[in-house]
Each structure stands twice: as C-alpha cells, then as structure tokens.
Structure 1
Amino acid sequence: MNIRQVEVFHAVMTNSTASRAAEVLRISQPAVSKAIQELERDIGFALFRRERGRMYPTAEANIFFKEVESSFSGLTRLKSAAARIRDFGSGEIKVASLSALSTNILPRALRGFQARHPNVAISFQAQLSSTVKDLVASGQVDVGLAADEIETEGVDVRPFARYRAAIAVPAGHRLEQATELTPEDLDGEAFIALSPEDTTRRAAEAIFRDRATKLKVVLETPYSTTICAMVQAGLGVGLVNPMTAEPYVGRGLTIIPFKPAIYFRTLLVLPPNRYPSRIVADFVDEVMKLSIFQ
C-alpha cells in the first residue's frame, strides 16, 4: 500500500465515481481502476463491488475510509504547517538577553521585528549572560545577547555593541555636576559593584589598584538595572552601562563618563552550525540596526 493508492481511493469515495475521481486527480479512469485493484490486493480485502461499469463501496471500504479521512486531516494540517513555515519560518521566535539590554535595546528590536512579522509568536526572557549562552547552546532559544564574559565554546558569536562605562550618582551628590569622573574622584565613596566575574568590573578594579583608589563596596549585583535602582535610592555610586541607566537619568540619577575609558562589550549569540530561519534572520537584522560601538 502506498500513498498514491490511498489518494486514489479517497478521491473515488469523495467523488462517488471513478470517472469524477479521474478528473479531479487528472489521470485516466483505467489508472484509477488499476490503483484501486492494487490497493485491494495489498490490503487483502475488496473495497468496491463492480456492477455494470460502476463501483460501489463495500462495508469494509466505509470503515477503511474513516481511517483514511483521519489521515487526510493530518495531511491537511501538515500542508498548513508547511505554508506557515514558508511564509513565517517556524512561526515562533525565542530570545534571551542579559538584563542590561532588556529594557531598551530588546524592546526596540522586538517592535521593529513585530512590524515585519505581526503573526509570529515571541518568547523573551532576561537572564544572566552565562544562562543566555547555555539557553542558546542547548537550542532552547534562537538568539541571545550576552556580555563578553561568557565562554564562547558551543555557540556562534559576533560582536554586537560597545558602550563606554559611566558612573551613576544620585541626585544631589557632590559629584553630580562633574563632566568626567576619575578614580581619584571616587576615593572613599560608597560603591555598588557588579559581580566579580564581570569583565568591566575587572577592568575598573585594575585601574583603581593602579591609582591606589579605595572604594567601599556596599553591595554587589550582576545587574546594572539593580545598580541604578540602588544609586537612585542613595545607597552609593556605581559603574553602569549608560544604556541600562537611560530610563533612570533625570529621575534621581545622573550618569557621568568614567576616565580612563573602559567599556561594556556585548555579543550576539546564535546556535552553532545552524543556518538561521527567515524569522531569526529578520530578528537579527532588527537587533543589529541598534548595534553601537562608542
């Protein structure tokens, strides 16, 4: 039994006669009869009674037809799925990002992507950079944005952005009016720090050691957004990604460039050895429009 034989049987049952089935399938009536005979031989029972040149379905044919109808419904769903994949890729995209870009870059990229693909479902989560990398490597998400501190083994990466680090200070702070801040300006200040594994924190610590600057670390967090909130609350000052601080500026927080310049670097992370679908490629295109190298 093969799919062509079943297709011919389905056409005869739904069109009542072999001649109309032949017209629908665009084959000859003898070809229809031959396919039915081969199907009957393969399945081991008669599907039709032949009387005066016409074919009448047997009781077994009606039972078999119910199963065939069910299979054809599944085939219709497959055709619909194929059409969605053709038009929209998988019809779904899963994205993960480090928290620092989840409140600014990602919303803008997703807005542009949604305008191009309004019917595509979007799943987004903000995570630690190491978690973003693991989610991409395991195939649980299609695209990720992560800090350059991650191990890149097992994923494909490309440079995404570089932002010059700034010092966030609360409103009314003695340093609020400065145009730049050096390590000496921060000596003795209450400091809200990024996690020790953060590459920008390590770069800053090397500079502070060289300049003999002593900071009073009052809190550590992996999230620049948390630093901004803590600075806004007056707990101290902190080194932040200016993109993260954007929603806080003018609302109890000021950011001032840090000198010498150090940078937050981020990577676009993709699954290894996989050609991206159309929707993933379009999302990457929207994200890369927002790529910044200061």
Structure 2
Amino acid sequence: MHSRLFDIRQLEAFAAVMSAGSVTGAARLLGRSQPAVSRLIQDLEADLGYALLHRSGPRITPTSRGLQFHAEVERHLASLTHIRERANAIGLDEPISLTIAATPSLAAGVLPRALAAVSPDLIPRHLHIQALAAENVVQAVLARSADFGIASLPLEHPGLDVHWIADAPCVVALAVDDPLAGNDVVSLADLAERRIITLANPFRLRHRIDEALARAGVAPQRIIDVNSSMTALTMVRVGLGVALVEPATVVGVPLEGIVMRTLDQTIPFLFGAISPAAHPLSPTVAAVIDAARAVALAMPGCRLRELGGDGALAEAIYGNSIVPEGTLS
C-alpha cells in the first residue's frame, strides 16, 4: 500500500458506489462522469493494494475487504462533516454540533423529550443522533465519535465517566382488547400459555426477563425475540403475542392499540448516561444529560442507583441500592 494520504474524492467516490450499488448511480450522486468515478475507485484500489469491488460487467459487489474498508470510510467522512460543522459554529460563536449515541429504545423514548427540555440557545444547528446497539454506544463514546451516550447496563469501563444510572421496572405490553388488559397488574404466571415477545441480547435485559420467568415457574413454549422494543410493540399490536419490554419505548412512543401494564415481579431495566472519561462537558452536553435523567425519572417506578464510593458502580449494576431523585449531580 502506498504511504501517501488518500484523496478525499476517492473516498467519496467509493462511499457513493457503495450507497448507489453501481458506478453509474454513484456518478449521478456526485455529479461526475462515470469514467471519472471509475478512475477514482481504481486509483484508490491501487493505493490500497487490494480490490474493493468485484466487477462483472455492469454489476459490482464489494469484496470482504471492501466491506471492512467501507465502515472506516463512513466514519472518516462523517468526522470530516462534523469538523466542518464545528468549525463554522466556532466562527459564529454558536454551540458546536453534537453527536449522541443511544440504544434504539432510549433514542426514541428518552432523547426527544430531553432535547425538547433544553434551552434552545444551547441546541446547535447540527445534531447527530445515532441509534446503536448498547455495545456500540459504549464503543462510540470511547472512540469519541459520540459526545455522550445513553445505554443499558453494563457500562463499566475505565475510559468512561458514568453520570447517572436509572432503574425502571419492565412492563408487559398488551393489545388493547387482550383479556389481561383489564388488569392493573399482570402476573407472569398468567403468561404461561401465551406467545412472549421480548428482546434477544442474552447479556443485557433478556437474562433478567428469563430469570423472572423461571422464578414464576413459566417456561414459554412460544417466543419471538427481537432487537428493538418498537418491533416488539408492533408485533403485539397485530396480535402476535404479549411483550415483556423496558418502559422507555412504551412511554415515550405510545402506539394506538397498545396498553402497558405493571408486572407482579420487578424486572429491572438499568440504563445510564456516559461520556469519555476526564473529558470536560460542554454546557449543551451537561444540559442534555441532566434533562435525560429527568425524563427517565418520569417513567413509572424509575429510580436512580447509587454511584458514590469505591465499587459503587458494580453495586449499582448488581445490587439494590436506590437513591431518591435529585441526589446525583
């Protein structure tokens, strides 16, 4: 591979080809000729020393290396865009652009109301919201490609500052005409013969749900597992089952035809706000983190977990220490 820096036009051409699926489509996106785009891709491959695309007449498909490289190119181009936005904001003495990473449920159920509660003077012209898996939220904050994140636990990492951790009890989501919808509290035992829709990741909320079902003597014979609570709720609405989910999506994005009911057993959904360790918070970031905490605490039964002192973060994750609202900064 040649040691010289890549031409930004090469990277843009490759990203456009990946998005459009063809050189012709990429040329249209970029406002360039097809031969010019082809040449940029060929030069990029020559600089790299390996092929990015398989070519079969007009059809192209990415190589395995091309797929890996594309992920890096996307991050690089996004970073350049953010640098331009921040440079402009600095020149105008405005709040700089902000990137927030959050799990889909928290991006939909908490962030919108948190951002709406922040003073308009603190909101930058450009906001970037990334809905990612919890593990990817952590990685984005560690890599500083996100200014801060909100994700489910665990969040232990020496490169992170944890600002608050909240504990909200999971709920059951039912179709409005479900026989159990008339109950204020639904017993897990009542779900024994039902198809249960719940989240798939066994290392986060799912294992707590499975443990609670086992304690109740419920061994579901029919399960649909999904990677987002919104998907679970839409399946409930069309009668595919009942959903055991965190409350953020149900409260923050209410769907017609769905009701939320309390469970007879507490299944904690633990989540928190994180930023890069020892990295000063801008006024905007600090305000959004505080607002997100307030929105979280408005969910039924939500409480803050204790964070002070050695080993307290592990206690917050695995123990039962609850603190009243307002005691964490």
Which range, TM-score by smaller chain?
0.5 to 0.7
Q: Contact 1:184/1:211 (CA < 8 Å) preserved in 2? A: yes
**For each residue in 1:226-246, what CA deviation from the matched residue of structure 2 results, as whole angstroms up to 9, or x when unmatched?**
111111111101112222113
Confirm whether residue 215 of structure 1 aligns to residue 220 of structure 2. yes
> What displacement does 1:205 show?
1.3
Corresponding residue number in structure 2 for 1:273 = 278
Q: Which of 222, 225, 231 is the aligned partner of 1:226? A: 231
**For each residue in 1:67-121, what CA deviation from the matched residue of structure 2 results, as whole angstroms up to 9, or x when unmatched?**
xxxxxxxxxxxxx9699379445x1111111111222321112223361325442
The letter for the 1-side match of 2:279 is: R
**For each residue in 1:141-179, what CA deviation from the matched residue of structure 2 results, as whole angstroms up to 9, or x when unmatched?**
001000013453432223343221111111322211111
**For each residue in 1:159-200, what CA deviation from the matched residue of structure 2 results, as whole angstroms up to 9, or x when unmatched?**
343221111111322211111112211112101121142533
Confirm whether residue 156 of structure 1 aligns to residue 150 of structure 2. no
The letter for the 1-side match of 2:127 is: I
Q: Which of 195, 198, 207 is the aligned partner of 2:200? A: 195
Question: Partners of 1:98 and 1:260 in 2: how far apart?
Answer: 25
Structure 2 residue matching 1:176: 3-state secondary structure: helix
* Correspondences of 1:1-294 after superposition (within 5 Å): 84=90, 87-89=93-95, 91-113=96-118, 115-246=120-251, 249=254, 251-292=256-297, 293-294=302-303
Q: Contact 1:96/1:125 (CA < 8 Å) preserved in 2? A: yes
The letter for the 2-side match of 1:290 is: V
Question: Partners of 2:251 and 2:119 in 1: how far apart?
Answer: 23
Query: Relative to structure 1, is the Cα distance of residues 158 and 216 closer, same or farther in structure 2, using a 3 angstrom cutoff?
Result: farther
The letter for the 1-side match of 2:277 is: P
Unaligned runs of 5+ in 1: 1-79
The letter for the 1-side match of 2:90 is: R
Query: Relative to structure 1, is the Cα distance of residues 120 and 217 closer, same or farther in structure 2, using a 3 angstrom cutoff?
Result: same
Structure 2 residue matching 1:140: 3-state secondary structure: coil
Unaligned runs of 5+ in 2: 1-85, 304-329
Query: Relative to structure 1, is the Cα distance of residues 105 and 227 closer, same or farther in structure 2, using a 3 angstrom cutoff?
Result: same
Q: Contact 2:195/2:224 (CA < 8 Å) preserved in 1? A: no
Q: CA RMSD in A?
A: 2.6
Q: How high is the TM-score relative to the length of structure 1?
A: 0.65
Query: Relative to structure 1, is the Cα distance of residues 124 and 178 closer, same or farther in structure 2, using a 3 angstrom cutoff?
Result: same
Query: Relative to structure 1, is the Cα distance of residues 93 and 216 closer, same or farther in structure 2, using a 3 angstrom cutoff?
Result: same
Q: Contact 2:122/2:283 (CA < 8 Å) preserved in 1? A: no
The letter for the 2-side match of 1:276 is: L
Q: How high is the TM-score relative to the length of structure 2?
A: 0.59
Question: Partners of 1:146 and 1:269 in 2: how far apart?
Answer: 8
> Could you tell me the percent identity over the aligned residues?
23
Question: Partners of 2:188 and 2:207 in 1: how far apart?
Answer: 14
The letter for the 1-side match of 2:260 is: I
